[in-house]
Amino acid sequence: MKFPELIPAKFLRRLNRFVGEVSIEGKRVFAHIRNTGRLTELLKPGNTVFLKEKNSGKYPFEVLLVDMGSSLVCIDSTITPKLYAEFLNLPVRFEPKFEKHRFDLMYDSRVVETKSVNLVEDGVALFPDAPTERGRRHIQKLIELSEQGFEPQLIFVVQREDALVFSPNYKVDKPFSEAVQEFYNRGLTVKAFLCNVSLREISISREIEVIFLKDG
């Protein structure tokens, strides 16, 4: 997935879940954040971020990447389904709906829910970084679909390069993590992938191991 030309800036503060204040060559502006996670280890005052210009909406920029020194981190969680679809390189249907639940994509009988992973601690990619009751409900519905003949999949896309393994984040959201464990124990597909991230593009590079680090 190609990026447009990005603009370097300094991150100043997060006003709410969707808006941050940044400095571009000393000029303070507001930028949209397409991620409802906490991102506290990423969006620290003084960190270098890279912005994408927007042609619509209230704010002229979007915070797309955070420079963590050892790795660029893409924090846009809305691109994850398309990123995975690019990796599959298969015809897919986006946003299939089952009753009140809408999932990310579907191909053949496989119903896929993708998760954008940004947090890495000691080489372990973790999700979520904030409690997600909606995420837990989605997993329960996927389990129901498996009993109706569908093949549900949970795909965790680590949108950075510096993780070795992936684990659900028991410390932050135990109910969600236990739901992932139940999903896995039923023999359903749980996978995690690493990305290559540059100022020009992001792409899924390879699969990494899924572990269940309950002491984390």
The string of pLDDT tens digits covering residues 55-88 is 888 999 999 999 998 899 999 999 999 999 999 9
pLDDT for the residue 57: 82
Per-position b or e across 180-193, b if 16+ CB within 10 A of its CB: bbebeeeebebbbb
What CA–CA distances, in Å, run from 39 to 71, 141, 163, 189, 207?
15, 27, 16, 27, 23
Residue 55, pLDDT score? 86
Local confidence band at 5 (pLDDT 50, 70, 90 cut-offs): very high
Query: What are the pLDDT digits (tens) for 134-193?
Result: 999 999 999 999 999 999 999 999 999 999 999 999 999 999 999 999 999 999 999 999
pLDDT of residue 56: 83
Per the prediction, the chain carries an average pLDDT of 97
The bridge status of strand 153-158 relative to strand 110-117 is: parallel
Q: What domains can be seen in the chain, in order of their start residue?
A: 7-74 (2.40.50.580), 77-210 (3.40.1350.60)
> What is the DSSP secondary-structure string of 160-213?
SS--SEEEE-TTT-HHHHHHHHHHHHTT-EEEEEEEEE-SSBEEEEEEEEE---
The pair of three-digit structure tokens given for residue 212, joined into one six-digit string: 């269940």
| pTM of the predicted model as reported, rounded to 2 decimal places | 0.96
